[in-house]
């Protein structure tokens, strides 16, 4: 998988969040950590990237340690002449060629009948990888998104029990089309190794803080970080500070889809299977998805009813119900409209965060994040009151 570079790492990341497919915890951990195994490229490439973007290199004192050669980007620590600490990020120069080529191989591989049978969601996997790697190639978008979300977070829920959440500041004068710099954030990835040693109450607070911020981004900002796996969350234990990084994968949500999504949540909350089904139907993608949905309506109702009535602590959460419904429709090859498709994937990506919270905590976070939208829409507010949220 490592020889597949970016494409292989992405595949690993996505699979590591699918316990339904990869049942072995150890294997999921190996897949989660694949990103640390891709060999870095030569540091000298940075200089050519800087030159290409006409960036003034006289402000840079030293280019230090390699921080990540994860998938696409190479990230090095940088000390500027005023001794401030930043990181420099640029795409692996070969990625522009390697990605399309490796995607092509992956597509062929996943089209093999044998793989399709063993991995019923292979089509979705390929498009998820394709989508995320091609977006990550656009450094310019990444910078704009990072700045917008950073501004948003500063004005919303960014503190809890002495912990705070923030986004590293981008250096305006040191950015270009292929390379940019942002403030160095001290900390460790919010992954299994850290979670194992953190006091449980800190894990809870951090999880609440991230989840609240994410849902506020979704419901209030309409632009949100869509790739909050542990490697993109840096936790500074001493300063009790959480930094979100890596804004290459951000999504937007229109008001129309947002209101439908709120309806979905309210119907999940009130365990109303038939209304849940009709909201789901209103969120589908193409004509063929609607057709399949109608043809299989009876089994879908049965499955949704089952998911709604599951009262086990792990499956009772709204986040988990959304995730289970999405995974079920994936297995039926029924897709939502593109905004919704991307939005619903978030609940897979952040399952490791919601796993640290119970159903009441999750519900309260949804409530808090949805409230501003409800207050603007009396009809939704009324439905919310009926649902008991």
Residues 145-174 that bind ligand ADP (CB under 6 A): 168
Q: Which is nearer to ligand ADP, 245 or 344 (CB)?
A: 245
Question: Which does residue 248 bind out of ligand ADP, Mg ion, none, counting CB within 5 to 8 angstroms by kind?
Answer: ligand ADP
Residue 106: alpha-carbon gap to chain centroid: 22
Cα distance between the two ends of the chain: 44
Rounded alpha-carbon distances, angstroms, from residue 196 to 18, 117, 200, 203 = 20, 36, 9, 9
Size of the site for ligand ADP (CB under 6 A): 21
Dihedral sign (CA 303, 362, 29, 251):
positive
d(CA 16, CA 170): 30
Helices (H), the chain: 5-16, 25-32, 44-52, 95-110, 113-118, 122-136, 139-155, 192-197, 200-216, 255-269, 273-282, 287-295, 297-309, 318-331, 338-349, 351-354, 359-376, 378-387
Separation CA 313–CA 322 (nearest Å): 15
How does DSSP classify residue 78? E
Residue least distant from ligand ADP (Cβ): 68
Show the site string, 56-75: x = touches ligand ADP by CB under 6 A, - = not: -----------xx-xxxx-x
Q: Which of 203, 232, 267, 354 binds Mg ion (CB under 5 A)?
A: 232
Q: Is the CB of 176 or the CB of 231 nearer to ligand ADP?
A: 231
Least spacing, CB of residue 211 vs ligand ADP, in Å: 19
Size, binding site for Mg ion by CB under 5 A: 3
Distance CA 129, CA 72 (A): 12
Position among 31, 248, 337, 362 found at the interface with ligand ADP (CB under 6 A): 248
Are the C-beta atoms of 136 and 70 separated by less than 8 Å?
no
Residues 254, 40: Cα–Cα separation, whole Å: 38
CB of 81 to ligand ADP, least distance (A): 19
> Do the beta carbons of residue 81 and residue 59 sit within 8 Å?
yes
Residue 230 Cβ vs ligand ADP, minimum distance, rounded to whole Å: 9
Binding segment for ligand ADP (CB under 6 A), chosen from 176-184, 211-219, 359-367, 370-378, is 176-184
Shortest distance in whole angstroms from residue 309 CB to Mg ion:
38
Residue 136 binds to ligand ADP (criterion: CB under 6 A): yes
- Among ligand ADP, Mg ion, none, partner that 271 touches (CB below 5 to 8 angstroms by kind): none
Query: Please, which of residues 23-42 interact with ligand ADP by CB under 6 A?
Result: none
Q: Which is nearer to Mg ion, 78 or 308 (CB)?
A: 78
- Cβ atoms of 70 and 41 within 8 Å: the answer is no
Among Mg ion, ligand ADP, none, residue 75 binds (CB under 5-8 Å by kind): ligand ADP
Partner whose footprint covers residue 262, from Mg ion, ligand ADP, none (CB < 5 to 8 Å by kind): none
232 vs 251, beta carbon nearer Mg ion:
232
Sign of CA dihedral 222, 224, 226, 230: negative
Gap between the Cα atoms of 160 and 157, Å rounded = 8
Q: Select the residue interacting with ligand ADP from 87, 253, 279, 369 (CB under 6 A).
A: 87
Interacting positions 202-241 with ligand ADP (CB under 6 A):
231-232, 234
Residues that bind ligand ADP (CB under 6 A): 67-68, 70-73, 75, 87, 89, 136, 168, 182-185, 231-232, 234, 245-246, 248
Residues that bind Mg ion (CB under 5 A): 231-232, 246
């Amino acid at each position: 998988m490592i020889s597949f570079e970016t494409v292989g790492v992405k595949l690993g990341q996505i699979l590591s969040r699918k316990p339904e497919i990869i049942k072995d915890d150890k294997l999921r951990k190996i897949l989660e950590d694949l990103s640390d195994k891709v060999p870095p490229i030569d540091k000298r490439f940075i200089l050519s990237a800087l030159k290409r973007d006409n960036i003034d290199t006289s402000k840079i004192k030293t280019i230090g340690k390699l921080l990540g050669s994860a998938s696409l980007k190479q990230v090095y620590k940088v000390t500027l002449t005023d001794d401030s600490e930043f990181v420099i990020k640029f795409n692996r120069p070969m990625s522009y060629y390697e990605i399309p080529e490796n995607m092509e191989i992956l597509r062929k591989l996943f089209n093999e009948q044998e793989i399709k049978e063993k991995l019923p969601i292979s089509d979705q996997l390929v498009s998820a990888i394709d989508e995320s790697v091609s977006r990550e190639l656009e450094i310019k978008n990444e910078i704009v998104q990072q700045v917008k979300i950073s501004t948003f977070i500063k004005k919303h829920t960014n503190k809890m029990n002495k912990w705070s959440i923030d986004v590293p500041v981008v250096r305006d004068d040191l950015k270009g089309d292929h390379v940019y710099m942002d403030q160095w954030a001290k900390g460790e990835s919010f992954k299994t190794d850290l979670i194992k040693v953190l006091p449980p109450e800190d894990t809870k607070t951090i999880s609440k803080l991230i989840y609240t911020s994410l849902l506020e981004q979704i419901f209030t900002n309409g632009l949100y970080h869509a790739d909050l796996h542990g490697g993109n969350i840096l936790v500074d234990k001493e300063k009790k500070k959480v930094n979100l990084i890596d804004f290459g994968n951000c999504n937007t949500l229109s008001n129309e889809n947002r209101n439908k999504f709120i309806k979905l949540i309210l119907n999940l909350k009130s365990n109303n299977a038939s209304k849940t089904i009709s909201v789901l139907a209103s969120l589908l993608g193409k004509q063929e998805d609607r057709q399949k949905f109608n043809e299989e309506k009876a089994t879908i109702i049965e499955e949704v009813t089952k998911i709604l009535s599951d009262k086990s602590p792990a499956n009772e959460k709204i986040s988990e119900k959304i995730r289970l419904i999405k995974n079920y429709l994936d297995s039926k090859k029924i897709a939502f409209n593109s905004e919704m498709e991307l939005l619903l994937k978030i609940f897979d990506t952040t399952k490791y965060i919601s796993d640290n919270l119970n159903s009441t905590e999750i519900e309260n976070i949804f409530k808090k994040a949805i409230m501003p939208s409800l207050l603007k829409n009396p009809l939704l507010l009324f439905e919310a009151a009926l649902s008991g949220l």
